[in-house]
Chains A and B, each alone.
Chain A
Amino acid sequence: MTTTAIEKTGGRTVPQRDPGAEHGPRRPGRLRALGLPYLLLLPALVLEILVHLVPMLIGIVMSFKELTQFFIRDWGTAPWAGLDNYAVSVDFDAPVGEALLKSFLTTCLFTLLSVGLCWLIGTAAAVFMQETFRGRGLLRTLFLVPYALPVYAAVITWAFMFQRDNGLINHVLHDQLGLTDSPPFWLIGENSFITLLVVSVWKGWPFAFLIMMAGLQNIPREIYEAAALDGAGVWQQIRRITLPSLRPVNQVLVLVLFLWTFNDFNTPFVLFGRAAPESADLISLHIYQSSFQTWNFGTGSAMSVLLLLFLLVVTGLYLTLTSRGRKSADA
C-alpha cells in the first residue's frame, strides 16, 4: 500500500519520462548493460539488507517472543508469546498501554508543534533573506550554526541553561525580568515539554531554512518581474508567487522533518537522561526505557513495530494526499 503511495509522488524517485533511460547506454553490449545497474546497486542493497532489513525482521520476530531477562542470554529459547506483547502494548486501560498511549500522544503534539514552528521560522527567514541586504551572508552563516553543531554539544548546553538554580533561562526570567514568583523548573515537571520544544525547534529550523532557500532559487526571476509590472507589492508577491511556488518543496520538507522529529531520540535523551518527565516522554525514549530499563525486549520490540506501522501509514497517507493535491493544482 505504501509502495503505490510513494510511487505516486512520481517524477522524483521514479523518473517517468526519460527518453534516454529506456534502453540504457548501448555501447558496452546488451548483457553488461543489463547487469550493470544491479552491480551499481549491489553495495547499497547489501548494506540496507544487513543493517536495516534483517535487523528489523529480527526485531519483528522478537516482538512475538517473551524476551525478558530470563531469556536474553539465549533468546532462541525464549518462549513464543504470540500476540501477548502487542496486547499489553495496546491495552490502554492497563498501565503499560496507558503510558504508551500517553507517550504517543505527547509525541504527536510535540511533533506537530515542532515541525510547525521549524517550518514557520525557516520559511519566514528564507523569504526575508531572499533579497540581498548588508550582512545577509553573515546571517545566513550564523543561522546554520545550530544545524552544524553536534547534537550532544548543543543539547547539553541547553540543559545547562535550563537548570533551575543556576541556569541562564531562570536568571533572565526570574532574576532579571521578575516574571515569576519563584524560579520554575524546566527539566522536571510539566515545563519540560516546553524545554524539549524550544531545543528541538532551535536545532531543527535551520534545516527548513536551508531547504527553503534552495527552493526559492528555483523560482524564475521573470515571474516576479511580471508581477511587479502588474503593480504587485512585495507582500503580495510573497503571497501570490513565493509561497505557492514553494509547495512542492514543502511536501518533502514537512515529511522529512516529521520523520526526524517523531523518531528523535538524542534530544530528550541528552536533555533528561534515562527517565524523561512524563510531559516530555517521547515515544523513542519511552520504548528505549521499556526495553533497556525494564529488560523486556519483547514488549519493547512490539512497541517499535507498532510505531513503524504508524509511520508507514501516516507517510503513505500523506504522500497520497499531497501528491493528489499537487496534481489537481497542476492541472
Chain B
Amino acid sequence: MRRIRAAAVGAVTLSLVLSAAACGGGSPSGGSGDNSRPGTLTYWASNQGANLEVDKKVLQPELDKFEKRTGIKVKLEVVPWSDLLNRILTATTSGQGPDVLNIGNTWSASLQSSGALLPWDEKNFERIGGRDRFVESALGSTGVRGQDPAAVPLYSMAYALYYNKKMFAEAGITKPPATWDELVATGKRLTKDGKAGIGVEGSNLSNNIHQVFVLGKQHGADFFTPDGKADFTSDGAVAAVKQYVDLMAEHRIVAKGNAEYAQNQSLSDFAKNRTAMVLWQTAAATFKAQGMDDSAWGVVPAPVPSGKPGRGTAVNSMVAGINLAVFKNTKNIDGAMKFVEFMTGDEEQKILNKAYGSIPPVTSAQADPAFNTPALAPLRRTLATSAAALPQVPEESQFETVVGTAVKELFADAAAGRPVTTASVRAKLEKAQQQMPNT
C-alpha cells in the first residue's frame, strides 16, 4: 500500500510540475506583437463564398498580389463557421494563433475583453490610412464603445426584405410591404396551397438574435442596459421576441417546418418558389447559387412600424459584417499592419466585396457603381441610415447562445401547436437571462 501511495505521490508531483510549466510557458502577457518572424503571415479567413474552395479561389490571387508587392508570404486558411470561434478561443488560450484573422463583427466586444486582439488606437489606425476611411456605422460594431476597437471592418452587410417576384405576381401583389402590418397582411395573402408568406431559420441561433434585436429596437428595447447588464425581460424585448415568433404562432405565415431550419433552407425554399419573402442579409449570391435568376427576386428595406426606416425605433437592420483583426501574439506586427492596410485599401475592398456580394465599409470604395445596383442599393442605404450595431458588450456571444436558444425553443413550441403567449415568452427570456454570468 505504501508503494502505491509513493507512486501516486510521484505521479501527482510530476503532473504538477508539468502543469506549472503549462501555465508559465505561454506567451508574455500584455505583449503586443513583435517582428521576430518577418516574411510570413498566417491569415484565417471566414467562409464567405459558397464553400471553402470558392473562398480560396477568391483570396489566393489577392494574397499573391500582396506577396509580390511586399515580399510577405501569406498562409491562408479558410476556417468554416462551425469551427471559427472555437479555433479563436483555443488560439487565445494558448497564444498560438494566426497573425491576422476574420471575426464575425458581433464577436468584437467579446473577443476584445479576452485581450487577444490588437487594439486599434489612433497610432495603429494611422498605419492603415486613418480611422475616418471607414463608414461610421461599421465602426460601431468593432468593440465596446469608448475603448479602442478590437478590429477594423472588412465586409459589410445589412438585412433587407427579399421577395419572390413570381409569387407576388401570382397573388396579384404589386407593392412589397414597408410596414410590419403590411408584411403580415401580405404574408397572409401569399400563404396558401402549401406555400408560405415568409421564411425563418428557427434553429439558427445567430439569425434569431439578429431578427429579434432589430424588432427590439423598434419597441425601444435593448437587450442590455447602458452599463452592460443583461436586460432580456423588458416589455419591449418580450414584445419583440413574441412579434417575431408570432409570424408562425399567430399569423401562421411561416411554414411549421421552418422551426428546424438552421442551414439556410429558408433561402432554398425561396429560390424554389415555396416561400415568398425572407428577411436576410446580402442573399443575392445564394439565390444565384440556388439557380434563381437575378430578375426573379426583388429587394427593399426591411419593414419598420412607420414605413420609413431611420434611427431609433425606425431601425430595420443590424450592422452585419466581418471584421479584420490582428492577433496580439503576432510575430510579424509590421507585416500584419501592411496586410490590413492592403485588405482595407480601395482596390482590394472593391474586388473582394464584389466577389462576395457584400458592401465595402470603406467610404471611398463604396462609391464604386458596382455597389449601387438594385440588389445592393437598398442594403447600402440601410447601412448608412437605419442600421444599428448589436450590443457591444463582452457577453455578446453568451447573449447569442441563450436568447437565440430561447427563440428556437419558442419556434419549436409554435410548430408543435402550443400557444406562445406573452407569459411563455417572458418565462423563456427570464430563464435565458439567469444563465448569463453576473446577473
Contact = CB atoms under 8 A, between A and B. Distances in A.
> Do A and B share a direct contact in the complex (Cβ within 8 angstroms)?
yes
A278 B409 contact: yes
B348 interface: no
A275 B260 contact: no
Main secondary structure of the interface of B (DSSP, over half): helix
A61 B257 CA distance: 45
Nearest to B1: A3
Given A70-B113, A189-B416, A275-B401, A182 B256 contact: yes
B11 interface: yes
A54 to B, nearest CB: 5
A189 B409 CA distance: 7
A73 interface: yes
B159 to A, nearest CB: 22
B205 A275 contact: yes
Contacts of A94: 434
B129 interface: no
A316 to B, nearest CB: 16
A53 B262 contact: no
Nearest to A188: B412
A8 interface: no
Nearest to A288: B86
B114 A72 contact: yes
Interface residues of B, number: 52
Interface string B8-48: 00011011101100111011010000000000000000000
Contact of B93 (A73, A163, A165, A189): A73
B259 interface: yes
A74 B25 CA distance: 10
B435 A292 contact: no
Interface of B: 4, 11-12, 14-16, 18-19, 22-24, 26-27, 29, 85-86, 89, 92-93, 95, 110, 113-116, 202-203, 205, 255-257, 259-260, 262, 394, 397-398, 401-402, 404-405, 408-409, 411-413, 415-416, 431, 434-435, 437
Contacts, number: 111
A205 B408 CA distance: 33
Interface string A94-112: 1110010000000000000
B271 to A, nearest CB: 15
Nearest to B93: A72
A199 to B, nearest CB: 16
A329 interface: no
Contacts of B116: 73
Contacts of B23: 75-76
Contacts of A165: 255, 257
Contacts of A171: none
Nearest to A76: B23
Given A53-B15, A296-B437, A275 B405 contact: yes
A293 B402 CA distance: 9
B14 to A, nearest CB: 7
Contacts of A295: 89, 110, 397-398
A182 B394 CA distance: 43
A68 interface: yes
Contact of B401 (A68, A164, A189, A294): A294
A136 to B, nearest CB: 41
Contacts of B416: 185, 189
Nearest to A94: B434
The 6 A-B pairs at the shortest CB distance, nearest first, are namely: A76-B23, A95-B434, A165-B257, A74-B29, A188-B412, A57-B15
Nearest to A77: B29
Contacts of A142: none
A130 interface: no
A49 B412 contact: no
A320 interface: no
